[in-house]
Structure 1
Amino acid sequence: MEPLQIVANREEYKIFDRDQGKTVVTGIASFRGAWAIYERLVSLKDAITRYAKQAAPHRPSMDHGTV
């Protein structure tokens, strides 16, 4: 399931973040404009997730008996 969801009609759009459980973007634009914003947000969210995984500190194993 995608982390973001577009809800749109002729007058406005909303982009809902399922992870946060709230609407993160609203506006008045075409569905095509909302889709472009959606794609950028998904790309940004994926990049942040990849960065967070790379930046996470390495935690040494406690199995070695060292202090």
Structure 2
Amino acid sequence: MNKILYALTVVIVALFGVGGFLYGLYIVWEPLAYIIGGIILVGIAIMMNQLYAPYDDKGGDN
């Protein structure tokens, strides 16, 4: 019975370790996703601006 209890304890500790590791990755990824998403949205806005108004069509000393 001691071996079974020891094996069960090892499995439970390993599961808690894996869960903690995955939760840590989630905590790290969440703000990183906002940063990457913001960069992608800025890139899309710049591309849309280039398609709508090329450089020679903009104001200035024309």
Q: TM-score, normalised by structure 1?
A: 0.48
Structure 1 or 2, whichever has the larger Rg, is 2
Structure 1 runs of 4+ off > 3 angstroms?
none
- Among 47, 55, 59, which residue is 2:20 paired with? 47
Higher percent of residues as strand: 1
Unaligned 5+ residue runs, structure 1?
1-9, 11-28
Unaligned 5+ residue runs, structure 2?
48-62
Q: Provide the identity percentage.
A: 3
RMSD: 2.5
- Structure 2 counterpart of 1:41, which letter? A
The answer to which structure, 1 or 2, has the higher relative contact order (CA under 8 A, 6+ apart) is 1
Count of residues in Structure 1 that have an aligned counterpart in Structure 2: 40
